[in-house]
Amino acid sequence: MTSTPEADVLAVLTPGGKLTADTIARNLNVPPWRVVRALHSLRRNGDAFRNRRGEWQITVGQRRPASQAT
């Protein structure tokens, strides 16, 4: 079973954590563009947001499996 890029990013972004896209990419050992695409998808779904410093966080109360269809 393979996981989606969104699920991989959510696994790295623990609640309360703040990470840049580059840091997430290094942790996952994937290209930064792939992480950015996943992060924007998560933002559209309301699962993550970016602060003014360019750090990404999980939205409080919105953590759900990325594989669920909306």
In a domain, 63, yes or no: no
SS3 of residue 48 by DSSP: strand
* Per-residue model confidence (pLDDT) at position 27: 93
* Per-residue model confidence (pLDDT) at position 42: 92
* Per-residue model confidence (pLDDT) at position 14: 80
In a domain, 70, yes or no: no
- CB burial of 18-56 (b: ≥16 within 10 Å; e: otherwise) equals ebbbebbbeebeeeeebbbebbebbeeeebbeeeeeeeb
**By residue range, what is the domain housing residue 44?**
5-58
* Per-residue model confidence (pLDDT) at position 25: 95
* Per-residue model confidence (pLDDT) at position 54: 92
* Per-residue model confidence (pLDDT) at position 13: 86
This prediction has a pTM of 0.77
In a domain, 67, yes or no: no
Q: What CATH number did the domain enclosing 28 receive?
A: 1.10.10.10
Low-confidence ranges of the chain (pLDDT < 70): 1-3, 61-70
For the chain, the domain total comes to 1
